[in-house]
Amino acid sequence: MNIFENIMVAIASIKANKMRAFLTMLGIVIGIAAVVSISAIANGGKKQIEKSFEQFGTNRLIIQMNWSKWEELKFRDYLTEEDISVVGRMAGDGDIEAVSPLYGGDWLTLSNRGRSSDIVLYGVNEFGAEIDNVKMLSGRFVSQEDMLAKRNVVIISEKDARELFGTVDVLGKPVTLDTWRGPVELTIAGVTKYEDNFMNSFTNGGRAAAYIPISTIMKIYREDRYYALSIKVKEKERINEIGGKIIALLERRHHTTGKYSSFNLQQMLDTIIAQMSMITTVLALVAAIALLVGGIGIMNIMLVSVTERTREIGIRKAIGAKRRAVLFQFLIEAGIISLGGGILGILLGIGIAWLISLLMKLPPIISIVDIAIAFVFSVIIGLVFGVYPASKASKLDPIVALRYE
């Protein structure tokens, strides 16, 4: 028989035992579906995370006190206005674009006439918007005049504006900031655009950022030294190098070592992507177990098929069929079962990925390469696990086979 005839015989055999063939395919279907859906969701997650980080700026560098050595920190180690000026002069060297003292990350609450909204408060200077890639919806950001006068102004997000007032038209309206020092009355000077993305959920617990002049927050908390600097570098590829230069500069100025550390979003992004890749690999390996079980199922059912068709094999060999032809016929049948399972698995995996994306609001990225790999792998599974049954069928003695009842 030629290839076409072998395929038709294989399909006829599968049709004759539809339920058995489907149950045999099930392991392959589950395994391939798991691999495709996991891959699509992981790719979509990585893309969404990268997009979120880019919006916040992967060229943003944080220089802060080394809190792992907090017991060794002295008052003279903390950052001053002169430190900010000296670091700011590095802009002339082409290393940085902007620098701001940074106070914050405090989870606080804004309130207005019985309504409240949870925020993450940051104290910055007039360069904070440029460094954090803040997009204004209305009003203005922190100004140099705000800094000098230590004004009680705040820039809130459109999310918080709606929660507090039911509208984004809130410029000039008063709000109360609840701090550990007590309530502070502030005036809204600007409203920022808000996007419910991974960064907000991951770093701020879904809270939006609010900004206040750092001089004002220092007045509220009665501080006169800074704990951190927020810096926008020109070339994100050199961010670690520039961080090292700034730390060395501060160590020379304060005559100390090991009291400062650097942090940037690219480091966080790399860590998250690496962890996601590891989790994806582990899940894919678990899914591969289902494929292995599916392959064993194919081998098992093909052995049953060989037993059931022993007389058929004997007749074929008696009229001149060669071992290779019998081997090829059963391999094709195993391959078709596995291929069918692979196609169903791919379709099911795509469906699962889209379903999960609707629940998680995370668009999946279905890679043609991943689908092609799943497709090829499903065929390989069938062929590998079909070799032993096919080999057993091809080696049957036609005389013994014809006597089989």
d(CA 383, CA 337): 10
pTM: 0.69
Tens-digit pLDDT profile for residues 160-204 = 999 999 999 999 999 999 998 899 999 999 999 987 766 666 566
* pLDDT tens track for 36-57: 888 888 888 888 777 777 767 7
318-329 per-position pLDDT tens digit: 777 677 777 777
Say which range, 100-109, 194-203, 263-272, 366-375, has the weakest mean pLDDT.
194-203
pLDDT digits (tens, 9 = 90+) for 81-131: 899 999 988 876 778 899 999 997 889 999 999 999 999 999 999 999 999
Sign for the pseudo-dihedral over CA of 144, 150, 152, 155: positive
- What is the pLDDT at residue 116? 95
Return the sign of the alpha-carbon dihedral for residues 303, 307, 312, 314.
positive
pLDDT of res. 400: 60
pLDDT of 313 higher than 70: no
Do 13 and 333 touch, CB atoms closer than 8 A?
Answer: yes
Query: What would the mean pLDDT of 26-41 be, rounded to a whole number?
Result: 86
DSSP alpha helices (H): ranges in 133-211? 144-149, 158-165, 198-204
pLDDT at 397 over 80: no
